[in-house]
Amino acid sequence: MAKTTAGSKKSAGTKKTFEERLERLEELGDEIRKTDIPLDNAIKAFEEGIKLARTLERDIEKIETRIEILMNGAEAGEDDSEDDEEKPELGLFDDEE
């Protein structure tokens, strides 16, 4: 499997960005579509792809939640300068991978 330059620069402990994970998922999809890929490699790529897809889906859900909170706040006419401590913590892209 071909690795991207951005992916090879990341260390094992560094969290990849949404875009990097999406790019990796696309690479895995391309790899699985090859007709000459061994079955074991295809299964490993599929498994990695499923894990990435689930992680990306969770990230998208967090983004959607944040957008809803921001939109509801705008609709209610809230002033961002008041009551900052009462606003919910969005926690986007925290410890999950």
Report the pLDDT value the prediction gives residue 5, as an integer from 0 to 100. 45
Domains of the chain with bracketed CATH? 16-75 (1.10.287)
CB atoms closer than 10 angstroms to residue 26: 12
Report the pLDDT value the prediction gives residue 73, as an integer from 0 to 100. 82
Mean pLDDT across 63-84: 75
Helix (H, G, I), strand (E, B) or coil at 49: helix
pLDDT beyond 90 at 31: yes
pLDDT beyond 80 at 54: yes
Mean pLDDT across 57-74: 91
Mean pLDDT across 9-17: 65
Report the pLDDT value the prediction gives residue 14, as an integer from 0 to 100. 72
pTM of this prediction?
Answer: 0.59
Mean pLDDT across 42-69: 95
Best CA proximity match to 56, nearest among 5, 8, 20 = 20
> What b/e sequence results for 42-77 when a residue is b if at least 16 CB atoms lie within 10 Å of its CB, and e otherwise?
eebbeebbeebeebeeebeebeeeeeeeeeeeeeee
pLDDT beyond 80 at 67: yes
